[in-house]
């Protein structure tokens, strides 16, 4: 950079959930590599999750500075230290958490006023609708970060403006989403991402986010035009705003240690994980992970375990939110002992990008969170789709119906956050085994899936 040039200073403000923070930290590193001074706003607990990532980035000469925010947990009735969405037990606490983030407004405004050099722009998560007004007051362009696909954003947009939905009386009745380049059928519950009627508080939050998007300077999205060209065009047309497609941002993690520690320190040693993968045949392993927020009923986790065992295939199963009852089942039934020749269980955080990029992995059973979806695509893997809530049912339609690189396991209804035990079993172990066989077999259908996998390989070459 020439000495007479003013170094741009971007402030990044991710929402406090792993699926939001991880891509934003990747974006921070990508911008810093291009000579941008980065300030990222985080709470202490969340900053600590990325401590090693930040240390390596700063040690390599990147200009990244972390400023800690004090989340007012006690003021909204949350225990101190509940600084991340994945720590919350139910939807009531989720609303309290949301209110706590809204109370950060004065802190953030004061920080932005005091920063030197003054911020060139603010990139803040879609969830922080109030940052638009803060940015306008301080004459700083606010760029909104969307951590999902343009396909999903278009589905949400049509839900907000179309009158066709008013004629659909049941939340479980399938209908064609209007105004999309492809014929996409969803239920109201799937499109909303919840089986519950939204409370007035959540409706207000949703409406505030929509309004803030209208007022924002532009949008950054973790996607790329070659993946969904028609939906990028459609989104640009309906929004009329600047859009930067900067994904897949996970590709900035090039070496094993960056892949292993992306998002959090893994609960398994990377060398142990790689040694196990190295011992498996090429494309033979099915990797199972249902996300950082997804929680399934104990009975459903047991069905999943039995389905994996019955498939008699090598697997890595990541279990992030195991109940005490499920841990008891694992112990009493000696599940790990029974499957030790074929399976590897990881309870906690897993080095997902590292695992997916290994040549022995041949398939991915995913909750269809957008980060995981992109990571599966860039690894060239066909997927079994198991959406849980939020926009994951839209992402499933994108995988299965638009890019046609996955098969459904058969989930129909979103799981209500905090009410997983009420939902119980949605997918039986036989159906799980069948889906794995369809994806991994060398038969006619399996061969078609392998061909799809090869076609996905072109995305790898974009690195």
DSSP string computed for 276-318:
HHHTSPTT-EEEEE--SS----HHHHHHHHHHHHHHTS-EEEE
Instruction: Find where tokens 């038969």 sit.
Output: 443
How far, CA to CA in Å, does 417 sit from each of 90, 93, 296, 297, 392? Answer: 6, 10, 10, 11, 13
Neighbour count for residue 204 (Cβ, 10 Å)? 11
Q: Is 245's pLDDT higher than 70? A: yes
Q: Which two tokens stand for residue 426?
A: 């949605």
Label residue 444 by pLDDT band (50, 70, 90): low
Q: Which two tokens stand for residue 209?
A: 């986010």
Label residue 460 by pLDDT band (50, 70, 90): very low
117 preceded by cis ω (within 30°)? yes
Query: Per mean pLDDT, which range of 49-58, 160-169, 432-441 is the poorest?
Result: 160-169
* Cβ-based neighbours of 192, under 8 Å, separated by 6 or more: 159, 171, 198, 414
How far, CA to CA in Å, does 121 sit from each of 10, 73, 111, 138, 382? Answer: 5, 28, 13, 10, 38
Label residue 451 by pLDDT band (50, 70, 90): low
Label residue 416 by pLDDT band (50, 70, 90): confident
Question: Where does 63-104 have alpha helices with state H?
Answer: 91-102
Q: Give the Cα separation of 362 and 122 in Å (integer).
A: 40
Q: Which two tokens stand for residue 360?
A: 């022995």
CATH architecture of 9-251: 3-Layer(aba) Sandwich (3.40)
Label residue 203 by pLDDT band (50, 70, 90): confident
Q: Give the Cα separation of 341 and 305 in Å (integer).
A: 15
CA neighbours closer than 13 Å in the CB half-sphere of residue 395: 26
Q: What are the domain boundaries of the chain?
A: 9-251, 258-460
Nearest of 446, 447, 437, 435 to residue 411 by alpha carbon:
435
Same topology for domains 9-251 and 258-460, yes or no? yes
Q: Is 195's pLDDT higher than 50? A: yes
The side-by-side arrangement of strands in the sheet containing 406-408 is 343-347, 315-319, 285-289, 361-366, 383-385, 406-408
- The CATH code belonging to domain 258-460 is 3.40.50.2000
Query: Per mean pLDDT, which range of 15-24, 56-65, 197-206, 413-422 is the poorest?
Result: 413-422
pLDDT score for 271: 84
Query: Per mean pLDDT, which range of 58-72, 117-131, 156-170, 236-250 is the poorest?
Result: 156-170
Nearest of 402, 328, 407, 404 to residue 363 by alpha carbon:
407
Instruction: Find where tokens 């399976």 sit.
Output: 343
Render pLDDT for 92-146 as a digit per residue (tens, 0 to 9). Answer: 788 999 999 999 999 999 999 999 999 999 999 999 999 999 999 999 999 999 9
Q: Is 235's pLDDT higher than 90? A: yes
Q: Give the Cα separation of 102 and 365 in Å (integer).
A: 35
Label residue 463 by pLDDT band (50, 70, 90): very low
Label residue 447 by pLDDT band (50, 70, 90): low
Render pLDDT for 349-407 as a digit per residue (tens, 0 to 9). Answer: 888 999 999 999 999 999 999 999 999 999 999 999 999 988 999 999 999 999 999 99
Considering 145-149, 256-260, 456-460, the range whose residues carry the highest mean pLDDT is 145-149
Q: Is 37's pLDDT higher than 90? A: yes
Global model pTM greater than 0.85? yes
**218: β partners:** 143, 242
Q: Which two tokens stand for residue 405?
A: 């690189």
Residue 419 backbone phi and psi in degrees, to 5: -125, 35
Nearest of 294, 297, 231, 246 to residue 123 by alpha carbon:
246
Q: Provide the percentage of residues in the chain whose pLDDT is more than 70.
A: 92
**211 close to 204: Cβ distance less than 8 angstroms:** no
């Amino acid at each position: 950079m020439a000495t007479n040039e003013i170094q741009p200073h971007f402030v990044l403000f991710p929402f406090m959930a792993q699926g939001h923070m991880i891509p934003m930290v990747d974006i921070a590193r990508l911008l810093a590599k291009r000579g941008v001074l980065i300030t990222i706003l985080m709470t202490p607990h969340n900053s600590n999750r990325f401590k090693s990532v930040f240390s390596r980035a700063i040690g390599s000469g990147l200009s990244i500075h972390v400023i800690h925010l004090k989340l007012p947990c006690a003021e909204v009735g949350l225990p101190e230290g509940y600084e991340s969405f994945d720590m919350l037990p139910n939807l009531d606490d989720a609303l309290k958490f949301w209110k706590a983030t809204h109370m950060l407004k004065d802190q953030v405004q004061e920080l932005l006023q005091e920063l030197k050099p003054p911020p060139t722009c603010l990139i803040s998560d879609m969830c922080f609708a109030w940052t638009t007004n803060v940015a306008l007051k301080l004459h700083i362009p606010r760029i909104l970060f969307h951590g999902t696909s343009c396909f999903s954003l278009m589905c949400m947009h049509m839900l907000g403006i179309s009158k066709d939905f008013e004629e659909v009386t049941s939340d479980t009745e399938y209908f064609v989403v209007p105004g999309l380049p492809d014929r996409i059928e969803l239920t109201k519950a799937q499109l909303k991402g919840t089986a519950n009627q939204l409370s007035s508080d959540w409706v207000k939050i949703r409406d505030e986010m929509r309004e803030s998007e209208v007022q924002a300077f532009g949008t950054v999205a973790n996607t790329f035009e070659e993946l969904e060209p028609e939906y990028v065009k459609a989104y640009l047309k309906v929004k009329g705003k600047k859009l930067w497609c900067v994904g897949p941002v996970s590709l900035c993690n090039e070496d094993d240690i960056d892949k292993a520690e992306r998002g959090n320190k893994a609960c398994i040693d990377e060398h142990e994980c790689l040694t196990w993968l190295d011992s498996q045949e090429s494309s033979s392993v099915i990797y199972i992970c249902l996300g950082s927020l997804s929680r399934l009923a104990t009975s459903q986790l047991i069905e999943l375990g039995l389905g994996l065992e019955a498939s008699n295939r090598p697997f890595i199963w990541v279990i992030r939110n195991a109940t005490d009852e499920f841990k008891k089942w694992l112990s009493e039934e000696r599940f790990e002992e029974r499957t030790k020749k074929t399976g590897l269980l990881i309870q906690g955080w897993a080095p997902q990008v590292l695992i997916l990029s290994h040549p022995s992995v041949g398939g991915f059973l995913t909750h269809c969170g957008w980060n995981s979806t992109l990571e599966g695509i860039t690894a060239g893997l066909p997927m079994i789709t198991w959406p849980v809530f939020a926009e994951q049912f839209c992402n499933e339609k994108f995988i299965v119906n638009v890019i046609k690189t996955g098969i459904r396991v058969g989930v129909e209804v979103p799981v209500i956050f905090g009410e997983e035990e009420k939902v119980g079993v949605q997918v039986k172990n036989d159906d799980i085994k069948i889906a794995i066989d369809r994806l991994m077999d060398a038969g006619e259908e399996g061969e078609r899936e392998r061909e799809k996998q090869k076609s996905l390989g072109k995305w790898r070459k974009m690195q």
